[in-house]
Amino acid sequence: MNLRKYFIMGSQNCDHSPEDILEEAAKAGITAFQFREKGGGSLTGQDKLALGYRLRNICARHHVLFFVNDDIDLAEPLEADGIHVGQDDMRPEKVKEMYPNKIIGLSVSNQKEVENSPIQLADYLGAGPIFTTSTKEDAKQAVGTEWIKTLKQQYPGTPIVGIGGITEQNAAFVMEAGADGVAVISAIAGADNIETVIRRL
């Protein structure tokens, strides 16, 4: 499971075609993708599913891991490799019961969330927001790269992906802190040159 360059996106993050953006990112070497159609301006219902299919197919063609965010109902029709859940979403116990063979990612932002979570069921942890971000409307307080070190000490065998405000300028700090990968939305979706950004990440 290669989570090194983990791109997250929904149509609400794109100022032009999401398909074109993902195609370019996949060609440039992202290793994982999460379909996160969520927040102001996002698609719902059939439109969301249809976009999901198109993005899923791009990932399949480029051998990029495909995850769905929260939206457990999309996991089966889109044949997702995995599901990423946050603290307010379906519990990992339930996800595991429904999809014993899919990868489970879980967000943890602080120690209290760790203590309230079945970490042993998570195939990887999303740690953040590492830096301040305006992409997620309800993002929690930035926790810094220390949070990655803290998690890695407690769970040395669990892959950790840093998220939140990560750019090509600060990604190295996240990796130096012990992360197995960086998850980004705006650094790629909003890039003038996607290929350059991904190479630098």
The site string for ligand TZP over 172-191 (x = CB under 6 A, - otherwise) reads ------------xxxx----
Identify which of residues 36 and 56 has a Cβ nearer to Mg ion in the complex: 36
13 is in an annotated binding site: no
Residue 89 interacting entry, from ligand TZP, Mg ion, none, C-beta within 5 to 8 Å by type: Mg ion
Q: Give 86 or 144: the residue with its C-beta nearer to Mg ion.
A: 86
163's contact among Mg ion, ligand TZP, none, with CB below 5 to 8 A by partner kind, is ligand TZP
Write out the two tokens for 140.
């929690």
The 3-class SS string of 1-27 reads CCCCEEEEECHHHCCCCHHHHHHHHHH
Read off the amino acid at residue 35: F
Q: Is 186 annotated as a binding residue?
A: yes
Closest CA to 82 of 32, 150, 134: 32
Q: How far is the CB of 163 from ligand TZP (least distance, A)?
A: 5
3-state secondary structure of 100: coil
By beta-carbon proximity to ligand TZP, the closer residue of 101 and 141 is 141
Q: How many CA atoms lie within 13 A of 144 on its CB side?
A: 2
CB of 109 to ligand TZP, least distance (A): 8
Residue environment code for 135-163, b if the CB has 16+ CB neighbours within 10 A, otherwise e: bbeebeeebebebbbbbbeebeebbbbbb
CB of 145 within 8 A of CB of 152? no
For the CA atoms of 39, 43, 48, 54, what is the dihedral angle to 10 degrees? -100
Q: Is 25 in the site for ligand TZP (CB under 6 A)?
A: no
Is-catalytic flag, 11?
Answer: no
Catalytic residue of the set 36, 48, 56, 152: 36
- 128 part of the interface to ligand TZP, by CB under 6 A: yes
Token code pair at residue 45: 């219902």
Contact between 119 and ligand TZP per CB under 6 A? no
Active site residue 107: yes
**Of 24, 42, 86, 123, the one binding Mg ion by CB under 5 A:** 86
Active site (annotated) includes residue 17: no
Interaction site with Mg ion (CB under 5 A): 70, 86, 89
Instruction: Just list the catalytic residues.
Output: 36, 107, 136
